[in-house]
Amino acid sequence: MASINDLATAAIASVGTRAGDGADTEAGPMDGVAATAENSAADGSAVARGALVILEGMDRSGKTTQVKLLEQRFVELGRKVKVMRFPDRSTPIGQMIDAYLKSAVEMDDHVIHLLFSANRWEAVKQIRTLLAAGTTIICDRYYHSGVVYSAAKQNPALSLHWARAPELGLPRPDLVLFLDLDEAAARARGGWGAEVYERGEMQKRVRDLFWGLAMGRIGADGALGDEDMRVDREFRQEEEDLVVVDAGSSVEDVAEAIWEKVRPRVEMVERGELGGVVRSVS
């Protein structure tokens, strides 16, 4: 079995190779389906950039189903769209993460967090290229999960502040939808507890932290509170981008609620109101 140092070294080498050789991320089973319609203006003007839309949520909240339904909305409208999922378990780093999530290997909390982050950084060039070409990207999880799940471990040496640091510079989402579901409802949906993070107390902390980010109740030190804790606004971007959606309704109702949030945000992107170029997490 590989040691923690071996895993970390392999992760760093993999990211360095991908960043240095300029190669596109290889298409794999995680790739979504792109619509064939063109998004360029008829008068030859510049193509409006695509939107980066993230679906986060509790385990068993129906993210995968909703991602597929949202993708279909864009396809039916003739828009270019691509689905991505994190972790992407098809890459060498993703395979290490997969082994950890299935309890096949043990890793230090910091090591696995950095592997999750490296897995996202592997896709940065592809994300920026697609968005610049006018393709909307729908992500099933992004860095918010990485930050929140690591902080939810309650490791004193792995705060929300520390966990967020490796994500600085990633493409910033235009909208993050958090599909909220309580534990009882999640358990009733089946498949609960198959992976290491699917534990009741862990899921409760994750839910609390997502709500804290959305409501501005996370302090500068990453601590969760009941009051408004916007001190130095370190988590301002997360608060601006996060919207909570009740995932306890029917699949159809949740899909409609998601579309009601996504449509106007995508229109804002197309009008250039969220920047003509892809923004970065800062």
Confidence (pTM) = 0.81
The distance in angstroms from the start CA to the end CA of the chain is 37
Query: CA-CA distances (angstroms) from residue 67 to 176, 196, 217?
Result: 12, 23, 28
Report whether pLDDT(93) > 90: yes
Chain-centroid distance, C-alpha 109: 19
For residue 222, the one-letter residue type is G
Mean pLDDT lowest among 5-19, 135-149, 207-221, 263-277: 5-19
Kindly state the tokens that stand for 41.
């203006």
pLDDT at 250: 96
Q: What is the mean pLDDT of residues 4-23?
A: 45
Cα–Cα distance, 52 to 25 (Å, whole number)? 17
CATH architecture of structural domain 29-36+49-270: 3-Layer(aba) Sandwich (3.40)
Report whether pLDDT(86) > 60: yes
pLDDT at 196: 55
- 74 sits in which H/E element: helix 63-76
What pLDDT band is residue 222 in, cutting at 50, 70 and 90? low
Report whether pLDDT(171) > 60: yes
